[in-house]
Amino acid sequence: MKRAGNFPKCARLGMAVIVAFAPMSVMAAEKERASEAPPPTAADFARLQREVAEQRALIIQMMQVEQQRYDMLLKLLQSGGQLPSTSGLPPPLPPPGGTAATPPAGSASAPTATASAKSTSAHDVGVVTGRVDARGGSLKDAYVYIDMPKGGGAHGHTFEIKQKDKQFWPQAAVVQKGTSVVFPNLDAVFHNVFSTSGRNSFDLGSYRSGDTPRSVVLTTPGVVEVYCNIHSKMNATILVVPGPLYAKVGADGSYKIENVPVGARRIVAWSPNAKPTQQKVEVAGNGGQANFTLEVEASKAHTNKLGQPYGSYKE
Amino acid sequence: MTRAWAAVPALLLTFASAVARAQGQPTQVPPLAPAGADEAVAGEGADEEGATPATPGDMQAQIDDLRERMRDLEQRLDQTRQIATARRPIVSVGGYVDAGFFATQGNGVGIIQDSGAAADRVYPEYMNRYSWVFLGDLLSTAINSRGEAADLGDFAGIDRFDSVNSNGAPGFIINEVNLTLTAALSQSALATASVNFIPRSGHDFSIGDFIEVDLAQLEWLPTPSGRTSIFVGKFDSVIGIEYRERKANQRFGITPSLIARYTTGTPIGLKVRSKFFDGDRVVVAGALTNGSSTTEQFHFYDEVDSNAGKTASGRLSVKPLPMLDLEIGLSGEYGAQDKALDSLGSLWFWGVDLLGHIGPVDLKAQYLRGHGDGESPDRIYDPNNRPYGLDLKHGGYVEVDCMVTPIFGVYGRGDLRDALVWLGNPASMNGADRLYITKSWRATGGVRAVINEHIVLKAEYLHNGEYGRIPQIANDVFTSSLLLLY
């Protein structure tokens, strides 16, 4: 206000006149332009329509490219830097959670795998079948999965392993990478769930029934041995698979995995009490077959979370 | 001229707009071209501020950069993990502080003397054969998990270490400060030492506090399955099941049973235990030790053996029903008498036990019998090495524990002990020194509150009863325990 007060009176008057006349001058300029331009022709309208259509197509294309870019970044972050070195854009990812193969929360079974991949046509996929037999004993639970490095992960999915009667239930499970595994404690005593399995290592600390169940997101494919640091007899084994293409082996030893993309695929058979076995299978449109024989292994002692043997009768 | 006048306001408006933008006022900005669009697409859509749209090359560069950062982070994570693994402590320290408050009936002593003229005696038949005859159970007024009696009495001619010596007064007590050290010597070898610090009253200007080493063992698991353990050193006994919870931090309640004195000692020697079948349905354990599995504060026990005869003990347990967590065990031991300078006399125990878990309820039961020869009539004994005689006719307990909620639990136990313990030989010319006649039963009820994994509160009441010819003794106990675990 002080500055305005010092502003010369003539200048203030000039500004007021300019502002007052500005709309009038703009209108006058438009009227002058209109009087000079020729009226639009049909060809002009057609050109404008074509340009609008092109702009619309470009906008849609840009949005698609942007989406692909974000998907790629997301995938890179989720896959732990395991992306193949692609020069172009990656193919569209299967929608997370859009698979029937991922077991529902609280269930360990997935009798038949069905990949969703909406963009994949029926001609691009096949069915892999076969048998899994045991040598040297009987298998506790057996699963077969397609080991494909590309996978979106099951982010947002949860799987529950209960702690009850000083044991984990279920004691064997398969989850897709990115799954959050929740360990509710239903016992009155404290449990301390932990794992020292490589990149899936975790330690949930001690809690008991009534406490908020603690969970861990398993991000790296592989076998995760889960124990309680207090009760040495508590153990569970989780197989983290890279994608939704897996199936539980039936009681008769057979299995079936549907919607496997055609081509050479690595297929793995696994059981908590056996050494995993893998082989390459050429999956064609009419399917593929792979039979396995798993060697049953004797259980081995495990240590506590400090790497020490458990003491005697501490539970 | 007209055009020039029209241009002036337009310039002013543009200037005003620029000023407003510079001052941060909201203005309408053309939409940005999507990052990642190709140049041909972005060329027309670029805004006036010159935001350059990302190209596939840019995207690849960003991805490579992210991948590089990811790789770097993973390397650092692996290094951190290796450092953490390397810094794992060789020795881990645990233990607890057990503090309590107790109050007893009478003078806190669990026995009375059977004395006087024959007509006044409960057991006149022992009058001329034993110098002193006591009725009741010396350890019935236990106030803590150590089994310490509130008072051992001040009977003439008997010099005992009366660790609590409360004289019947209620009081606070630090029952035990425990320090447990475990060291993984390898993936299959674990060394454990458990040391108790017990603050007690001294006398004649001496400090009464004492230290007790109750475990000092090496456990070696020679097989990959870890189902066989070989113990060397001072370890838990193999008799019955109560030794598994003899410590305050393991015990559901507070006080031990009336037969714990026979089974929860920690002898020195060699022990082997193997588990078989799924779920450890069969467990076999055997030990060769200096002395018996009795506790040190009782009449029997040899820390360092005084004779060449060793004690062999064993236990076989089975879980007969796969769907039910029920364990049945048979155990026993046989060896030279504790405190004897020779191996002529024997001391033995045998018993059966049962351990079951049904939901939140634990069921524990044990029955035990035992015998010790005591002194021979034709021998003269060193005053410091006199073996006590024992006739444990029946001893046992049944206990039910239940955690009603994760915090609150209740328990009850019924005990029985029918035994004779004596010193000296009644057949000798001078007769024997002492005889303790016990026909006791006990009903214990208590509560426990697990505040968190480091704080546990317990309180219990023990009603001690006598049966047969033994008169009722005022020896009930209320005791409590605050456990601070670390």
Taking CA–CA distances from A64, the nearest residue in chain B reads B37
Give the CATH number, domain containing residue B451. Answer: 2.40.160.10
Q: What share of chain B is helix, strand, coil (3-state, %, to 5)?
A: 15, 45, 40
Give the CATH number, domain containing residue A180. Answer: 2.60.40.420
Domain count along chain B: 1
Among all chains, which residue has been given the structure tokens 């407003």?
B20
Q: Is residue A8 part of a domain?
A: yes
Tell me: do A45 and A149 sit in the same domain: no
Statement: residue B173 has pLDDT above 80? yes
Of A17, A52, A75, which residue is a domain's last? Answer: A75
A-interface mutation test, from B74, B178, B187, B249, most A Cβ less than 10 A away: B187
Strands A112-114 and B388-403, by their bridges, are: unpaired
B253: Cβ–Cβ under 8 A, 6 or more apart, which residues?
B399, B401, B411, B413, B444, B446, B448, B458, B460
Q: Is residue B190 part of a domain?
A: yes
Tell me: do A70 and A127 sit in the same domain: no
Q: Is residue B60 part of a domain?
A: no
Q: Is residue B270 part of a domain?
A: yes
The more confident residue out of B378 and B286 is B286
Statement: residue B26 has pLDDT above 70? no
User: Residue A164 pairs with which residues in a beta bridge?
Assistant: A167
> pLDDT over 70 for what percent of chain B?
89
Q: Is residue B10 part of a domain?
A: no
Q: Is residue A17 part of a domain?
A: yes
> What is the pLDDT averaged over residues B52-77?
79
Q: What is the pLDDT of residue B97?
A: 98
- The predicted model scores a pTM of 0.73
Q: Which of A19, A81, A299 sits opposite B225 (nearest CB)?
A: A299
Provide the residue type at A282 as one letter: E
> What is the pLDDT averaged over residues B157-169?
89
**Contact in structure between A213 and A181 (CB atoms under 8 Å):** no
How do residues B209-251 score in pLDDT, each as one tens digit? 999 999 999 999 999 888 999 999 999 999 999 999 999 999 9
Phi-psi region of B205 (alpha: psi -120 to 50; beta: other; left: phi over 0): left
Q: What is the pLDDT of residue B134?
A: 96
Q: Is residue A243 part of a domain?
A: yes
What span, in angstroms and rounded, lies between the C-alpha atoms of A203 and B134? 57
Inspect the interface and report whether the beta carbons of A22 and B229 lie closer than 8 Å. Answer: no
How do residues B455-479 score in pLDDT, each as one tens digit? 999 999 999 999 999 999 999 999 9
Tell me: do A69 and A179 sit in the same domain: no
The more confident residue out of B59 and A247 is A247
Q: Is residue B277 part of a domain?
A: yes
Tell me: do A194 and A264 sit in the same domain: yes
Q: Is residue A86 part of a domain?
A: no
Tell me: do A174 and A252 sit in the same domain: yes
B393: Cβ–Cβ under 8 A, 6 or more apart, which residues?
B369, B418, B419, B420
Q: Which of B2, B66, B190 sits opposite A76 (nearest CB)?
A: B66
The more confident residue out of B307 and A57 is B307
Q: Is residue B480 part of a domain?
A: yes
The more confident residue out of A59 and A301 is A301
Tell me: do A136 and A282 sit in the same domain: yes
Inspect the interface and report whether the beta carbons of A62 and B37 lie closer than 8 Å. Answer: yes
Encoded tokens for B64:
């490579």
Statement: residue B93 has pLDDT above 50? yes
How do residues B321-361 score in pLDDT, each as one tens digit? 888 889 999 999 999 999 889 899 999 999 999 999 988 89
Q: Among A121-135, A160-174, B226-240, whose mean pLDDT is lowest?
A: A121-135
Tell me: do A23 and A128 sit in the same domain: no
**Contact in structure between B268 and B236 (CB atoms under 8 Å):** no
Q: Which of A32, A69, A303 sits opposite B2 (nearest CB)?
A: A32
> What is the pLDDT averaged over residues B399-425?
96
Taking CA–CA distances from A54, the nearest residue in chain B reads B41
Q: What is the pLDDT of residue A307?
A: 84
Statement: residue A28 has pLDDT above 50? no
Q: Is residue A144 part of a domain?
A: yes
How do residues B104-138 score in pLDDT, each as one tens digit? 999 999 999 999 999 999 999 999 899 999 999 99
Tell me: do A240 and A288 sit in the same domain: yes
> What is the pLDDT averaged over residues A106-123?
42
Statement: residue A32 has pLDDT above 60? no
What span, in angstroms and rounded, lies between the C-alpha atoms of A29 and A35? 10
Q: Is residue B434 part of a domain?
A: yes
B-interface mutation test, from A54, A219, A308, most B Cβ less than 10 A away: A308
- Residue B39's alpha-carbon distances to A65, B56, B328, in angstroms, are 12, 10, 81
- Which band of pLDDT confidence, cut at 50, 70 and 90, is reported for residue A37? low
Q: Is residue A216 part of a domain?
A: yes
Tell me: do A144 and A55 sit in the same domain: no
Tell me: do A53 and A139 sit in the same domain: no
Domain boundaries, position A26: 2-75
Inspect the interface and report whether the beta carbons of A309 and B63 lie closer than 8 Å. Answer: no
What span, in angstroms and rounded, lies between the C-alpha atoms of B212 and B150? 19
A-interface mutation test, from B11, B15, B17, B60, most A Cβ less than 10 A away: B60
Q: Cβ contacts (< 8 Å) between A18 and chain B: which residues?
A: 8-9, 12
Q: Is residue A20 part of a domain?
A: yes
Domain count along chain A: 2
> What is the pLDDT averaged over residues B254-280?
95
Statement: residue B150 has pLDDT above 90? yes
Q: Cβ contacts (< 8 Å) between A306 and chain B: which residues?
A: 88-89, 92, 184
Q: Cβ contacts (< 8 Å) between B271 and chain A: which residues?
A: none
- Which band of pLDDT confidence, cut at 50, 70 and 90, is reported for residue B67? confident
- Which band of pLDDT confidence, cut at 50, 70 and 90, is reported for residue B429? confident
> pLDDT over 70 for what percent of chain A?
58
Domain boundaries, position B109: 101-485
Tell me: do A273 and A138 sit in the same domain: yes
Q: What is the pLDDT of residue A46?
A: 67
How do residues A188-219 score in pLDDT, each as one tens digit? 899 999 999 988 999 999 999 999 999 999 98
Inspect the interface and report whether the beta carbons of B56 and A73 lie closer than 8 Å. Answer: no
Q: What is the pLDDT of residue A121?
A: 53
Statement: residue A130 has pLDDT above 70? yes
Q: Is residue B467 part of a domain?
A: yes
> What is the pLDDT averaged over residues B159-182?
94
What span, in angstroms and rounded, lies between the C-alpha atoms of B365 and B398? 4
- Which band of pLDDT confidence, cut at 50, 70 and 90, is reported for residue B63? confident
CA of A301 vs chain B CAs: smallest distance (Å) = 5
Q: Cβ contacts (< 8 Å) between B42 and chain A: which residues?
A: 62
Instruction: Look at residues B347, B166, B175, B155 and name the one whose alpha carbon lies nearest to residue B256.
Output: B175
Give CA B2 to chain center in angstroms: 102
